[in-house]
Structure 1
Amino acid sequence: MAHTRGGCCCREGKVEFGESAHDAARRETVEESGFEVGELSRLGCTRSAPRTAPTTS
């Protein structure tokens, strides 16, 4: 877990094959923080910025 200005974020979480997004969120929370979570509801989605700079032609 990385601390950022105004909060923190989990680094490399992903949904495994055959796993629901909610199950992945629960599993990643335990793996990254040690905390178990109960009921989940969807608040929104985010997408990380590309890891490399785009190339120009």
Structure 2
Amino acid sequence: MAYKISPDSCVACGTCIDECPVGAISAGDVYVIDASACTECGTCADVCPAEAIAPEA
């Protein structure tokens, strides 16, 4: 199951982009994870200071 960033919680700090080993995260006002590229490693969720990233339900 791919990870997803909550647009209500994301503070667009950029921490997750540098940690994603496959480049599945794109920047913007809030960040977005490309579900088809996500390898479900969880690295992004581990480093998110806003706890805005979780497995997609």
Q: Which has the higher contact order (CA 8 A, sep 6+)?
A: 2
TM-score, with length taken from structure 2: 0.25
Higher helix share: 1
Choose 1 or 2 for highest CA Rg: 1
